[in-house]
Structure 1
Amino acid sequence: MKSVPVAELLSDDAEHLGLKLIYGKKIIDDKHITHFRIQKPGLALAGYCDHIHSGRVQILGNTEVSYLWTLAPDQRKQAMAGVCQKGVCCFIVTKDLHLPQEVIDTVKVFSIPLFKTDRVSSETIIDLSVYLEDRLAPDTVCHGVFLDVFGIGTLITGRSGIGKSECAVELIKRGHRLVADDAVRFKRIQDYLEGSSSDILRYHMEVRGLGIINIKDMFGVAAIRLRKKLELVIEFTDWNPDISYDRLGLDNVYQEILRHRIPKIVLPISAGRNMAVIVEIAARNHLLKIMGYDSAKQFAEKLTSAISDGGIHNPMADEIDKRMGRWGVE
């Protein structure tokens, strides 16, 4: 399970959260956050602590602090101790609220970091959740070139030297945008995958014979983007006359990345094929499918109907019938 040290809440990347450390300078590296969801322990302070999760940040907002002030000093210690005993990773006090001394004493006893912010609870929870979701998202690295083609996040894969970068450069010249080259990092963000480049490789591409080029400097900022949702995988493969490639567009192929099934197209490379144009067509066709129009299925249905009405036997119609039957289409 991935985790984030509590110390990262004070890093430059988390500066927008506006957190100040009240206690725990020596222990923030040892405490870890394991979930992006945030908790408000109001019910736990009242005695019901069964659902307090140790790996979640605990927010002490106006409701929690106001409740603690209504308790006697011994009761405050007891209420805070009940939550702290669950192994909480840290507390954050919002709106710069004034805390009872017993609260501070108790977090010191249990060695739990305590932060403060002058922001309201709702804003803190939203921004902190977004930050932690990005840091805790499962990730992987794929070899290929990742581009934004007509708004479709397109990953071009294939063996080294097959022409991925050359195709990508042509696509960039045609107005599309580079996200990452060579090592593309994908994160699972809820129900989709988001791709980006590492800090070292960002904006750069390797073109054999030329070496490393900087796309941002060469084509301008409009030719790059920092991250993009992955929607389509296109695999370049060497042409093999003994292999029967999909000629109708009826085969649904997927590639699984981080437990997500991404539509995949296999494109054989041969002399004379303009791969940049074909990738553009693939992206446009994927856009049509997203909008509910599948040209291959429409053509197959019309052809099958026409041949059936005319009583004409055609091998292509037999093939289409088999594939349509495989999908359960009548």
Structure 2
Amino acid sequence: MYSVKDLFSQHGNSLGLELMDGGGEGLKREIALPEAHRPGLALAGYMKGHDPKRVLILGKVELEYLGQLNSSLLTDRLSAILEDVTPAIIVARGLPIPKELSILCKKRQLPLFRTHHSTMQLFSRLTLLLNEEFAPTQCLHGTFVEIHGIGVLIQGDSSVGKSEAALGLLKREHRLISDDIVKVKIRSGEHLVGFGVETTRHHMEIRGIGIINVADLFGAVCIKEKKSLDIVVKLEVWDDTHYYDRMGLSRKTIDILNIPVPYHILPVKPGRDVVLLLETIALNHRLKKMKFHSAKKFKEKLREAISQKSKIK
């Protein structure tokens, strides 16, 4: 359950929220929908389309209209739109709050906030934040790092060397987002964003050493709160009986939250520089995003060379 308290504690500063009334138990109210709503016509008595489960925003237009009503009618109109399922009310532009609204919110323990942001700015920011909070989420096991600006999730069986590889990347001034548990969310309907859980954020477990704090050891420049998930790389122990792709022409993907993500299997054995290989995968992915595919270019050159030799014969 996502509550008003969660919204206030996590995003209160960015939204410029100031709690005016209805704190305490009122902050435990559930935000059931990822939407904000300006009551508008509902204040005039037209309730069709008004959903009390949404966070209500009162701007200049709404407050100017309410200011024209007598105290009794104003209280009636506000009572009609405020229900037990209403999460909270936010007054925009730092406007004065009608005393009738304060009394109702205090009586019903309904959180009442005020912000200096403009109505439209508040509406767009709040809607974006709520959509992010309510976005589909999946927890994945692995180590999530940023390599040359590319978000790489390193997966593999226990003891295959995920954390050790990440440690080597940090030594080369790449960044850690999360180790062991990675939470992934959909953003804007088509992009995946990964981040760590609060309890383990910026920490890594290295067998033989224990828990280390990456920020303390390597500096704040080597950590990041969240990053787009661009590639998944699975480390596995080299198997001589298994065929590994040597050309890179076939494109493998793995579905995460129904979104295909480029997927690489990287065999590891003594003597292979896993850190260098991970850097190469990330750089190669950047080239592909720029529409430059090294393997395809090589294939075209090979075909052209064969074609030229055939003509000579």
Aligned equivalents of 2:272, 2:20: Cα separation in 1: 60
Aligned equivalents of 1:296, 1:278: Cα separation in 2: 16
Structure 1 pair 164/55, CA: closer, same or farther in 2 (3 Å)?
same
Structure 1 pair 176/11, CA: closer, same or farther in 2 (3 Å)?
closer
TM-superposed deviation, 1:158:
0.4
- From 140, 149, 154, the equivalent of 1:142 is 140
**Alpha-carbon displacement from aligned partner over 1:195-229 (angstroms, at most 9, x marks no partner):** 22223322222222222222222222222222211
Aligned to 2:212: 213
Q: AA paired with 2:206?
A: V
Structure 1 pair 296/99, CA: closer, same or farther in 2 (3 Å)?
same
Q: AA paired with 2:157?
A: R
Q: Secondary structure of the residue that 2:303 maps to in structure 1?
A: helix
**Alpha-carbon displacement from aligned partner over 1:154-204 (angstroms, at most 9, x marks no partner):** 111000000111111111112211111111222222232222222332222
Q: AA paired with 1:229?
A: S
- Larger deviation: 244-253 or 285-294? 244-253
**Alpha-carbon displacement from aligned partner over 1:56-108 (angstroms, at most 9, x marks no partner):** 21101111111122235554345434433694322112234334455456667
- Larger deviation: 88-97 or 253-262? 88-97
- Larger deviation: 128-137 or 241-250? 128-137
Aligned to 2:297: 298
Aligned to 1:6: 4
Aligned equivalents of 1:137, 1:4: Cα separation in 2: 12
Does the aligned pair in 1 maintain the 2:231–2:263 contact within 8 Å?
yes
Aligned equivalents of 1:104, 1:220: Cα separation in 2: 47
- Larger deviation: 123-132 or 220-229? 123-132
Does the aligned pair in 2 maintain the 1:187–1:194 contact within 8 Å?
yes
**Alpha-carbon displacement from aligned partner over 1:254-283 (angstroms, at most 9, x marks no partner):** 122222221111111223211111111100
| Gaps in structure 1 of 5+ consecutive residues | 313-330
- Larger deviation: 218-227 or 81-90? 81-90
Aligned to 2:235: 236
Aligned equivalents of 1:228, 1:13: Cα separation in 2: 19
Aligned to 1:66: 64
Structure 1 pair 289/38, CA: closer, same or farther in 2 (3 Å)?
same
Trace 1:23-34 onto structure 2 (pairs within 5 A): 23=22, 25-29=24-28, 31-34=29-32
Does the aligned pair in 1 maintain the 2:57–2:92 contact within 8 Å?
yes
Does the aligned pair in 2 maintain the 1:147–1:154 contact within 8 Å?
yes
- Larger deviation: 60-69 or 184-193? 184-193
Structure 1 pair 223/133, CA: closer, same or farther in 2 (3 Å)?
same
- From 150, 154, 157, the equivalent of 1:156 is 154
Trace 1:166-315 onto structure 2 (pairs within 5 A): 166-190=164-188, 191-308=190-307, 310-311=309-310
TM-superposed deviation, 1:13:
5.2
Aligned equivalents of 1:28, 1:217: Cα separation in 2: 35
Paired residue total:
309
- Larger deviation: 187-196 or 173-182? 187-196
Structure 1 pair 184/84, CA: closer, same or farther in 2 (3 Å)?
same
RMSD, matched Cα: 2.8
The runs of 4+ residues in structure 1 deviating greater than 6 Å are 108-111
Aligned equivalents of 2:78, 2:162: Cα separation in 1: 58
Q: AA paired with 1:253?
A: K
**Alpha-carbon displacement from aligned partner over 1:93-124 (angstroms, at most 9, x marks no partner):** 22343344554566678764433334432443
Aligned equivalents of 2:54, 2:102: Cα separation in 1: 19
Q: AA paired with 1:4?
A: Y
Structure 1 pair 248/9, CA: closer, same or farther in 2 (3 Å)?
closer
**Alpha-carbon displacement from aligned partner over 1:218-259 (angstroms, at most 9, x marks no partner):** 222222222211111111112222222211111111122222
Structure 1 pair 299/13, CA: closer, same or farther in 2 (3 Å)?
same
Structure 1 pair 69/232, CA: closer, same or farther in 2 (3 Å)?
same
Aligned equivalents of 2:99, 2:222: Cα separation in 1: 56
Structure 1 pair 164/289, CA: closer, same or farther in 2 (3 Å)?
same
Q: AA paired with 2:280?
A: I
- From 35, 38, 57, the equivalent of 1:37 is 35
Does the aligned pair in 1 maintain the 2:144–2:152 contact within 8 Å?
yes
